[in-house]
């Protein structure tokens, strides 16, 4: 029986390992395929030029050796030229397609703004594509004129192949942006910080990017799109690093950035929970030196808003369980959230609930009762002999109750304790 059990365990472990290897292999293959496609579409101009040069070399070889595999008629050359002109004119159709979606937004930015990003310009540079298409038509006219004197068949065919290839790359790149959000995000992520830094240094254009990302983040929260929200937070992190590295930034701009940042984080807290807001805000402020103090006020901002919640909002956005269990978060264990910060969060949760005048006393005191009973449970042990954070907060709450001038409130709190 023991032998059978061991064999089954080994079999399950091996099967799990094989499944993991298969998934990992598929991911590697997909990544390599995407990288090859990216290089292909980014270098469409060089590849097209190489194809045309190859055709010229083949014609020179035919002229020098006199060896050819087939001959063509004048009408064939006319058809090839007509095809080159048709494909060249396709560039204007692609431009019309792009113009129709210029107002479409991707992660807060319109397509016409994305076309200025280096990652997109390498693939979709409409100015270069129009010029290339016109040059291909002109070259086709020249080759058709020379065909009566020298053989230009190979150059003409390769010119058509190059025109089809460049049009195909451009059309696919436009289509990829329209349907592949992941491709757009990779482009944004790779060039976002350098673009913002360039805009900031050139014309101080930081409020535009702050507003764009904040509005997009708020919208993704309303739609409860967790994946998009996390990606926008990554871009926001790059934006804050640019602000952090800027010397002598006016106080008004610093205050504006902090206010919008708090607004974005409060929306994360409302839709995805207080713990999720803490995790994302810590990631966004990671590596920030001058404005690290923002997080102290930021952690309290969603809680302070509870002061104006009515019964329905208070029950929906009750952060009680989340603020009481911060000690289990990885961010608390690694020191990203300090004991002092957790203590402030716990105390202000109590204080804001007490001062809430929008909710009915029944709902407010019921939430307070649940909060205090869980806070005073003291389920953790302290190894160094010091008071637990919960114990320190309990003493602060007791001090508040003893010192308050509101006798009715004091009596209510005594009953709850």
127-168 tens-digit pLDDT: 888 888 888 888 888 888 887 677 788 888 899 999 989 888
Q: Which residues contact residue 345 at a Cβ distance below 8 angstroms, ignoring those fewer than 6 apart? A: 299, 300, 303, 323, 326
Query: Mapping DSSP to helix (H, G, I), strand (E, B) and coil, where does residue 176 land?
Result: helix
Spatial contact of 368 and 412, defined as CB atoms under 8 Å apart: no
Q: Which two tokens stand for residue 355?
A: 């001062």
Note the Cα 395 to chain centre separation in Å.
43
Element (DSSP H or E) covering residue 79: helix 74-100
d(CA 188, CA 105): 13
Q: Is the pLDDT of residue 1 over 60?
A: no
Residue located via tokens 């990017």: 209
Confidence of residue 218 (pLDDT cuts 50, 70, 90): very high
H runs (alpha helix) in 246-388: 251-272, 274-284, 294-304, 311-316, 320-324, 330-333, 339-355, 361-375
Task: With CA atoms as reference, report the closest residue to 160 among 80, 232, 227.
Answer: 80
pLDDT at 31: 65
Provide the β-strand partners of residue 105.
110
pLDDT surpassing 70 at residue 381: no
φ, ψ for residue 169, nearest 5 deg: -60, -45
Cα→Cα distances 417→29, 32, 407, 414, Å: 61, 62, 15, 5
Q: Which residues contact 18 (CB under 8 A, 6 or more apart)?
A: none
- Rounded CA gap, 371 and 311, in Å? 16
Tell me the pLDDT band of 247, cut-offs 50, 70 and 90.
confident
Distance in angstroms (rounded) separating the CA atoms of residues 35 and 190: 14
Query: Looking at the whole model, is its pTM more than 0.75?
Result: no
pLDDT at 14 over 60: no
User: By three-state DSSP, how is residue 248 classified?
Assistant: coil
Residue percentage of the chain with pLDDT more than 90: 10
d(CA 48, CA 162): 5
Q: How confident is the model at residue 348 (pLDDT cuts 50, 70, 90)?
A: very high
- 310-333, pLDDT tens digit by residue? 888 888 888 888 888 888 888 888
Task: Say if residue 234's pLDDT is above 80.
Answer: yes
pLDDT at 214: 92
pLDDT tens profile 162-204: 998 988 888 887 777 777 777 777 777 777 777 787 777 776 6
List the structure tokens of 403: 């010192």
Rounded to whole angstroms, how far apart are CA atoms 349 and 151?
85
Q: What is the pLDDT, as a whole number, of residue 4?
A: 45
Determine the pLDDT at residue 279: 92
What would the pLDDT profile of 388-405 be if each residue is shown by its tens digit?
A: 888 888 888 888 888 878
pLDDT of residue 210 exceeding 80, the answer is yes
Q: What pLDDT score does 171 carry?
A: 80
Average pLDDT over residues 80-107: 76
Q: How far is CA 237 from the centre of its chain?
A: 10
| Number of other CB atoms surrounding residue 311 within 10 Å | 14
Task: Note whether 217 and 226 are within 8 A (CB).
Answer: no
Residues whose CB is less than 8 angstroms from the CB of residue 391 and which lie 6 or more positions away in sequence, other chains included: 378
Closest CA to 75 of 154, 153, 159: 153
For residue 182, give the 3-state DSSP assignment: helix
Q: What pLDDT digit, counting tens, does each position of 251-292 carry?
A: 888 888 889 999 999 999 989 989 999 999 998 888 777 776
Model confidence band, residue 45 (pLDDT cutoffs 50, 70, 90): confident
Q: What is the DSSP string of 314-334?
A: HHHT--HHHHHTGGGSHHHHT
Does residue 20 have a pLDDT over 50? Answer: no
Where b means 16+ CB within 10 Å and e means fewer, 232-260 reads bbebbbbbbbbbbebeebeeeeeeebbeb
- State both tokens at 162: 């190059």
* Residue 322 to residue 328: CA distance in whole angstroms: 10
How many H-runs (helices) and E-runs (strands) does the chain carry?
Answer: 20, 2
In which residue are the tokens 């100015």 written?
127
Contacts of 121 (CB under 8 A, 6+ apart): 115
Mean pLDDT of the chain: 80
Q: How confident is the model at residue 98 (pLDDT cuts 50, 70, 90)?
A: low
Q: Which two tokens stand for residue 193?
A: 């910080």
Phi, psi of 109 (to 5 degrees): -105, 140
For position 6, what pLDDT does the model report? 53
Say what the pLDDT of residue 161 is. Answer: 92
């Amino acid at each position: 029986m023991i032998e059978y059990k061991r064999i089954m365990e080994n079999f399950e472990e091996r099967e799990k390992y094989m499944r993991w290897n298969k998934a990992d292999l598929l991911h590697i293959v997909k990544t390599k395929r995407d990288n090859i496609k990216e290089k292909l579409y980014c270098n469409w101009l060089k590849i097209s030029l190489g194809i045309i040069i190859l055709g010229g070399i083949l014609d020179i070889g035919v002229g020098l050796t006199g060896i050819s595999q087939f001959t063509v008629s004048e009408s064939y050359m006319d058809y090839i030229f007509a095809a080159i002109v048709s494909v060249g004119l396709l560039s204007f159709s692609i431009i019309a397609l792009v113009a129709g979606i210029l107002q479409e937004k991707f992660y807060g930015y319109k397509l016409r703004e994305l076309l200025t990003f280096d990652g997109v310009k390498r693939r979709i540079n409409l100015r270069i594509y129009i010029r290339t298409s016109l040059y291909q038509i002109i070259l086709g006219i020249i080759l058709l004129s020379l065909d009566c004197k020298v053989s230009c068949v190979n150059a003409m065919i390769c010119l058509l192949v190059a025109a089809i290839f460049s049009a195909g790359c451009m059309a696919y790149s436009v289509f990829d942006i329209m349907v592949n959000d992941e491709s757009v995000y990779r482009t944004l992520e790779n060039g976002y910080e350098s673009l913002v830094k360039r805009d900031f240094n050139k014309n101080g254009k930081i409020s535009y990017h702050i507003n764009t990302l904040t509005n997009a983040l708020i919208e993704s929260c309303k739609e409860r799109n967790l994946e998009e929200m996390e990606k926008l937070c990554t871009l926001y992190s790059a934006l804050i690093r640019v602000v952090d590295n800027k010397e002598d930034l006016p106080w008004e701009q610093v205050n504006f950035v902090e206010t919008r940042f708090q607004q974005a984080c409060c929306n994360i807290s409302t839709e995805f929970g207080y713990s999720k807001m803490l995790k994302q805000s810590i990631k966004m402020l990671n590596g920030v030196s001058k404005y690290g103090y923002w997080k102290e006020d930021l952690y309290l901002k969603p809680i302070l808003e509870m002061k104006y919640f009515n019964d329905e909002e208070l029950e929906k956005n009750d952060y009680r369980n989340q603020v009481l269990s911060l000690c289990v978060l990885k961010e608390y264990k690694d020191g990203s959230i300090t004991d002092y910060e957790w203590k402030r969060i716990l105390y202000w949760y109590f204080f804001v609930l007490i001062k809430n005048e929008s909710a009915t006393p029944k709902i407010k005191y019921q939430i307070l009762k649940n909060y205090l009973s869980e806070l005073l449970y003291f389920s953790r042990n302290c190894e160094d002999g010091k008071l637990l954070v919960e114990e320190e907060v309990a003493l602060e709450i007791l001090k508040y109750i003893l010192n308050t001038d509101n006798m009715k409130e004091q009596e209510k709190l005594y009953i709850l304790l």
